[in-house]
Structure 1
Amino acid sequence: MRLRRGGGAAIRHHRAAAAGALLVAGVAIAPIVALVAIALSGDAAVWTHLLATVLPPSLKATALLMLGVGLATAVVGIATAWLVAMYRFPGRGMLEWMLLLPLAVPTYVVAYCYVELLDHVGPVQSGIRSLFGFSSIRDYWFPDIRSLGGAVFVMSAVLYPYVYLTVRATFLMQSVCVLDVGRTLGAGPARCFREVALPLARPAAVVGVTLALMECLNDIGAVQYLGVRTLTLSVYATWVNRGDLAGAAQLACAMLLAVLLLIWLERRGRGLQRFHNTARRQQPLPDHPLRGWRAIAAVAVCAVPVLAGFVFPASYLLSAAIRRGASDFGPAYFSLVTNSLTLSLAAALAAVVAALVLVYAARLTGSRLVRAAGRIAAIGYAVPGTVLAIGIVIPLAALDNAVDGLARQWFGLSTGLLLTGSIAALVYAYVVRFLAVSHGTVEAGLERITPSIDMAARSLGRSPGRVLREIHLPLVRPAATTAALLVFVDSMKELPATILLRPFNFETLATHVYTYASMQMVEQGALAALTIVAAGLLPVALLARSARQSRPGAGTAARATLPSI
């Protein structure tokens, strides 16, 4: 919504706001620019070696993993969304929001839990041997959880809610008139779903699958623990294990190209699939009752993803924490909580402030350049944490070296590394990574405020700053609070960037769980993992409330809080 005509004149009139937005965008995009610069400065021979030995197997494993996760999340998300949107069966009201619960559990935590549950010494295989009298693992076959298939299962169990959310919202926005036309032409329920409802939901499904695949690309803890050498893991190993930053940057650029390809495919998929409902009256979808075996099947289809993605992992963590007793509730645990809370709160506050600068500058100026700056600044969500970490090291190191040089020249003192390897670097990474979440949520809240309020305030002599402080901030506070909460929880769960950028001897809940898992001591990290899951339930509760309100007859539909891509 534009308050002024003419982008150039508006920018000149609101130079401070436009400069602030461009500065935020520049700071957010700096790691990507630095990453490309590092990659181009690397030795061509190193890239040739990586291209011949590291990239092909990593690319193959990543492609197969993404293909499996994409198919599985699409099938599970679409099937469950269709059932809860169209049919009435026992427990539907509860399953409707419980299907969101896996979003509260990080993928690496689920991977650790399933290895403990399904490994040959775990309770499942031990029970099988005891029940059937097998003496060793050679006497029977059991799928290996530490495999590509296991990684597909684990990630799909956690990431399908992205598809479920977007597709369910699309199904609920459809009018019953659309499906009635199909029935009058002789199409049965299955054919109406396949030829009418599914094409209408296809763009939303593409968005959900793309978000799931981006999270899949970002993961490092689960794939490392399950023995799948993806591009993300290769970037980490090249930098940390081999000490080759330029080589890691070159691999990271390959990942970045894969992400950009995903975004292009998502945009193209939405652009080529445009469907419109031309009915004059929007009648809500009916709830067709299911009975007998059909009701049992519907309950099973919706309950299995909840069990696999949340109930089983959370139950294991809870039982492990109970077995450990009060021994883990000590100073070390509270230090982990304090570190995670400090980082996440700082990132949430900085991300909301940055989002307000971008969104309000775009509102004031109406400039395409300023709006584009906001879109560019939000691209960090599509960049995996390992890629961001490499890009962040260089600009921070350059700034540290510049400050150190000035301090030596003026005061004869060495400041050392002030930002690199510090808490500030972690907060910077979190803000760049999750700025899209806060930007989209704050933008949605500010768009609900009519421009006439701005005009009335300006006519009474209020400056843009006072309008923001006295009018917009109170009105946009619910959206800003939601944005802060989402960034806070995402920062609590973030692992790749935290591992690579944390200061020495600095542990968070996520790195604590990762450290013990890497030593095959998952139970010792159960309390920390359970704390992360508990924090993740907060945004799930918001999404569940939004899901209830979006059902026809339940009030005004709330906008989904998923980042745009």
Structure 2
Amino acid sequence: MPFAIRLPRPSRGLLYTLPVALLTVVPLLVVLSSVLDPQVEVWAHLLGYVLPGVLWNTLILVLGVGAGVLLLGVPLAWLTAVYAFPGRRFFSWALMLPLAMPAYVLAFVQVGLLDFTGPVQTLLRSAFGTSAWFPQIRSTGGVILVLSMAFYPYVYLLARNAFLTQGRRAVEAAQTLGMSRRRAFVSVAIPMARPWLIGGVTLALMETLADFGTVSIFNFDTFTTAIYKAWFALFNLPAASQLASLLVMFVLLLVVLEQYGRGARSYQVRSGHAERIALAGMARWLAAGWCTLVLLLAFIVPLVQLLLWVHDVWADDFDSRYPAFIGRSLLIAAMAALLVTLLALVLAYARRRYRDGGTRWLIRLATLGYAVPGTVLAVGVFIPVAWLDNVLLAALRPLGYEGLALFKGTLAVMLLALAARFLAVGFQPVDTAMQRITRSQEEAARSLGLNGRQALWHLHLPLLRGGLLSAALLVFVDVLKEMPITLMTRAFGWDTLAVRVFEMTSEGMWDRAALPSLFIVLAGLVPVVLLIRKSEP
């Protein structure tokens, strides 16, 4: 009898999750594969003229923003979680409002306010003469300041959740050992909150590495702007791919360092929330003043300035083009939200039913896209699509087809890149809702004779309605704010609100960029409200 080798049969979980994971894996592999085929001329140009400045700027930006979000987010989280002072309940949720304002919107508003011709410096010169000095906003420090104000809520939100579980008991226990409150904060509270702090800083740094609009406004060259210029200014897609591969390796290194920073330590936290410590005298007003200052600079003043600019330009700027800008933005956001929500449902259902290691790893790979900058995904999606276009056009031309492209510049390419970028955003609320469905409920459905598909339709989907809606809303708003993928993969003339902001800020027309920005900021309030509802005890 011949000896037969029997290969292991793949689980259905792999069959469900592999096509979804390929959305993220293929662009990343395409970009990383460019390292295996280096072009001497391209690398000579990059090493001589691009990489030294880009690497230095990126390093300074990462270090500066990392320090900035910690200096802003951690003290604010400690104050609102542990102490009682005037306005604490308001500040506890209001300090998350800067998440509603994209970093590129905050950037051009701050430049418009604080630049030499802006109202702040103009007022200072009128009051103190031409000798009045003011720090330059168009500088490395200005970029770091703006990005720190835009991204500190990531650290604030996670650190506050950690501090809420400690409460005043951690401070009191430290004080019984002879520590002051300040030393208790440094020696006890910070080490106990370490995993949450690392997670918040990592999120902020990933957003920093992915940022394109802010650094473009400041003319501050980083990997994202270098990739865009290589593709659209130099028309050199190989150079863009080589730069993107370096950025991917930098981001993956950051992910590995984040996992290493967490280590294998176990952190025990107490459920519930302890009574807060009441601040007295000047300390209570200093705490309220610090929270007020950060909120003013990061959200209220920029929002008021946007409203003033919109009031000035509304009559002239809101013309027949704006319904098209809004319509395209809503269309692509709705399509991406529907696609991502469906894919997230597939992943969450596969994770629920299939517990094998292969399925778990594919789900992790599928949701890796949120850590990858949009410029990288745009390059990684465009290259295989362009290759497929060339193959199909070569086959169709003998049949009389004279078109220039089949897929390039279509909504399909943009949707693929957006789905890879924001799948993690949609997956989290759907998976969380799926975990709330108990095994006993599924067993009851099976006892009634329902098979897997029937249980999905009659049991899971009704119970997942809230998670699916949250996923769709979060993805919708993120796509509405997203700039680099839309800018780099859209069809010619297919402009959205984010593209309109980019075009107006590129020309220094801050007031005309305010109108589309206001629409985006108002839409961005939706996920912030959801976060507030979940985080406030």
Residue 78 (str. 1) matches residue 74 (str. 2): yes
Where does 1:12-51 land on structure 2 (aligned, <5 Å)? 12=11, 15=12, 18-51=14-47
Where does 1:268-307 land on structure 2 (aligned, <5 Å)? 268-271=260-263, 273-277=265-269, 284-307=273-296
Give the alignment partner of residue 90 of structure 2, picking from 79, 84, 94.
Answer: 94
Cα separation, 2, equivalents of 1:109 and 1:27: 29
Aligned match of 2:372: 383
**Alpha-carbon shift at residue 127 of structure 1 (Å):** 0.2
Aligned match of 2:318: 329
Aligned match of 1:559: none
Cα separation, 1, equivalents of 2:449 and 2:114: 68
Q: Judge conservation of contact 1:407–1:415 (CA < 8 Å) in 2.
A: no
Identity of aligned residues (%): 42
Q: Judge conservation of contact 1:42–1:247 (CA < 8 Å) in 2.
A: no
Cα separation, 2, equivalents of 1:464 and 1:36: 39
Q: Judge conservation of contact 1:84–1:92 (CA < 8 Å) in 2.
A: yes
Residue 158 (str. 1) matches residue 150 (str. 2): yes
Residue 547 (str. 1) matches residue 529 (str. 2): no
Aligned match of 1:436: 424
Cα separation, 2, equivalents of 1:266 and 1:292: 40
Q: Judge conservation of contact 1:175–1:283 (CA < 8 Å) in 2.
A: no
**Secondary structure of residue in 2 paired with 1:420:** coil
Where does 1:475-554 land on structure 2 (aligned, <5 Å)? 475-548=463-536, 551=537
Q: Deviations over 1:392-448 (max 9, x none)?
A: 101222333344344446x54345423211122112111110111111221111011
Comparing 248-257 with 152-161, greater Cα deviation is found at 248-257
Comparing 476-485 with 182-191, greater Cα deviation is found at 182-191
**Alpha-carbon shift at residue 34 of structure 1 (Å):** 1.4
Give the alignment partner of residue 253 of structure 2, picking from 251, 257, 261.
Answer: 261
**Alpha-carbon shift at residue 202 of structure 1 (Å):** 1.4
Cα separation, 2, equivalents of 1:328 and 1:96: 37
TM-score (norm 2): 0.95
Cα separation, 2, equivalents of 1:32 and 1:114: 35
Where does 1:6-405 land on structure 2 (aligned, <5 Å)? 12=11, 15=12, 18-134=14-130, 139-174=131-166, 176-271=168-263, 273-277=265-269, 284-405=273-394
Cα separation, 2, equivalents of 1:360 and 1:95: 38
Relative to structure 1, the CA distance from residue 215 to residue 283 in structure 2 (aligned partners, 3 Å threshold; closer, same or farther) is closer
Cα separation, 1, equivalents of 2:395 and 2:161: 56
* Structure 1: gaps spanning 5 or more residues: 1-7, 552-565
Aligned match of 2:3: none
Q: Judge conservation of contact 1:489–1:536 (CA < 8 Å) in 2.
A: yes
Q: Judge conservation of contact 2:224–2:375 (CA < 8 Å) in 1.
A: yes
Q: Judge conservation of contact 2:386–2:408 (CA < 8 Å) in 1.
A: yes
Cα separation, 1, equivalents of 2:132 and 2:265: 48
Relative to structure 1, the CA distance from residue 31 to residue 245 in structure 2 (aligned partners, 3 Å threshold; closer, same or farther) is same
Q: In structure 2, what residue type is equivalent to 1:535?
A: A
Q: Deviations over 1:245-301 (max 9, x none)?
A: 111111111111111111111111111554325x7xx56322111232111110122
Aligned match of 1:3: none
Q: Judge conservation of contact 1:104–1:534 (CA < 8 Å) in 2.
A: yes
Q: In structure 2, what residue type is equivalent to 1:174?
A: Q
Aligned match of 1:562: none
Aligned match of 1:554: none
Comparing 122-131 with 444-453, greater Cα deviation is found at 444-453
Cα separation, 2, equivalents of 1:180 and 1:291: 17
Supply the RMSD in Å over aligned alpha carbons: 1.7
Q: Judge conservation of contact 1:441–1:483 (CA < 8 Å) in 2.
A: yes
**Alpha-carbon shift at residue 194 of structure 1 (Å):** 1.1
Task: Count how many residue pairs are aligned between Structure 1 and Structure 2.
Answer: 530
Q: In structure 1, what residue type is equivalent to 2:223?
A: L
* Structure 2: gaps spanning 5 or more residues: 1-7
Cα separation, 2, equivalents of 1:501 and 1:451: 44
Comparing 304-313 with 452-461, greater Cα deviation is found at 452-461
**Secondary structure of residue in 1 paired with 2:263:** helix
Q: Deviations over 1:330-379 (max 9, x none)?
A: 32111111000000111111111111111211222222111111110111
